[in-house]
Structure 1
Amino acid sequence: MGIRGQKTEDGRQMLACRAAARIAGMRGTAATKLPPSDRGFTLIELVVVIIIVVVVMGLFLNRALYYQEQAEKVAMEEVAGAVQSALTMQYGRILVRGNPSDAAALVRDNPMNWLQKPPHNYAGEFYAPTPLAVDSGNWVFDLKSRELLYVPRNAGHFKPGKDGEKWIRFHVAMSYEAPRAPSLQNASPELTGVLFEPVEPYMWF
């Protein structure tokens, strides 16, 4: 074989080596390609995840506010119940002293004075306050109307009374009954008790 034939053979071998290297490189690239499960989030997938997280957080926040408002209502009712118990004790002491007529003074008294310790959210006495003048979540005593007022902090499920104001007004009411004896039918009604009750009906839940 001559020199020219040897060069031709060498050229063919070089071309074959280059082709083999090129094929091997293509195989290596295909082998290192990541499967779909190993790739990161696409933009659409990321947006969907964000929307789901926002919806879940919104639902959780709504439920948290709901239970928080319920807890506030229960706390308010506990204070009202404590005042009613203290009022009953005051009325009982008046009866023990034998002066039922003194019970009329309870109507103008500040019910918080009957408690051993006022609640932490009792803000004191005010003259003719408005709901905006009282911090929400507090009790106040109105020196003009002689009523105990509560202004809700969480009022998403609260419907006020006829006055349309966002508060609950309590007062001391005297309970009377007509005499049961036939001979006393024309007599004045008898005082039978005292109640601590809302001035106007309201709805809370």
Structure 2
Amino acid sequence: MMPPRHRQHGYTLFELAVVACVFAILLTVFLTRVAYYQHEAERVTVAQTLGSLRTGLRVKALQLHLEGRRTQLPALARQNPFDWLAETPSNYLGEFYGPELEKLPAGNWLYDRKEQKVIYLLSNGNIFSRTRVDAVKFKVILPGADADVEKLAQEPDIVVWKMPDSVAN
């Protein structure tokens, strides 16, 4: 008669290693997707805020045109575009005069009075290109005082200002 075999309880080291590898792969895929969706969320938020600022600019330009005050159009380029919004974004830090961008928290908007530019401090750094960019500056562009209504409805804009070539594309 043979002695009874003892049945092994638990997992072998090999089985544990396989489970750990599968878990590591799934975790890597999950974190990659989370990072992608964070980048996309930031890109969409920036686009929405810019859309609101552009709409506010066009409304102000058309208002001046309709009131016969076209000579005041150049003054719009020196105003803070966030003042044109009914409600400023929750991540708007306010107006600064020559701010030190590296000292300000990422993921926020601000207006630089010295350069008269709208600035967005990127929280994910690379949402617009493969090169490292920490802040994007936007400048108000206006047509001349002789512009007609159709041109005023399209041309006033807030555009990216002096970004690396790879970002502008």
Q: TM-score range by the shorter chain?
A: 0.7 to 0.9
Partner of 2:54: 84
- Deviation per residue, 1:127-164 (Å, 9 max, x gap): 11233122100000001001000011112444389xx7
Partner of 1:109: 79
Instruction: Pick the structure with more helix per residue.
Output: 1
Q: Is the 8 A contact 1:160 1:166 kept in 2?
A: no
- Deviation per residue, 1:165-195 (Å, 9 max, x gap): 521111111235xxxxxxxxxxxx9434321
Tell me the amino acid that sits aligned with residue 11 of structure 2.
F
Partner of 1:135: 105
Find the residue that maps to 2:158 and give its secondary structure. strand
Partner of 2:116: 146
Tell me the amino acid that sits aligned with residue 58 of structure 1.
T
Q: Is the 8 A contact 1:160 1:167 kept in 2?
A: no
Over aligned residues, Cα RMSD in angstroms? Answer: 2.5
Per-residue deviation, 1:93: 1.1
**What TM-score do you get using the length of structure 1 for normalisation?**
0.70
Find the residue that maps to 2:143 and give its secondary structure. strand
Partner of 1:52: 22
- Deviation per residue, 1:100-151 (Å, 9 max, x gap): 1101110000000000010000001111123312210000000100100001
Q: Could you list the runs of 5+ residues in structure 2 that have no partner in the other structure?
A: none
Q: Is the 8 A contact 2:53 2:84 kept in 1?
A: yes
Q: Percent identity?
A: 28
Partner of 1:126: 96
Q: Is the 8 A contact 2:121 2:135 kept in 1?
A: yes
Q: Which runs of 4+ in 1 moved over 6 A?
A: none
Q: Is the 8 A contact 2:43 2:127 kept in 1?
A: no
Equivalents in 1 of 2:82, 2:61: separation in Å? 15
Aligned length: 161
Which range is displaced more, 125-134 or 83-92?
Answer: 125-134
Given the alignment of the two structures, is residue 173 of structure 1 paired with residue 148 of structure 2, yes or no? no
Partner of 1:65: 35
Q: How do residues 24-43 of structure 1 correspond to structure 2 at under 5 angstroms?
A: 26-27=2-3, 29-30=4-5, 33-34=6-7, 39-43=9-13
Find the residue that maps to 1:168 and give its secondary structure. strand
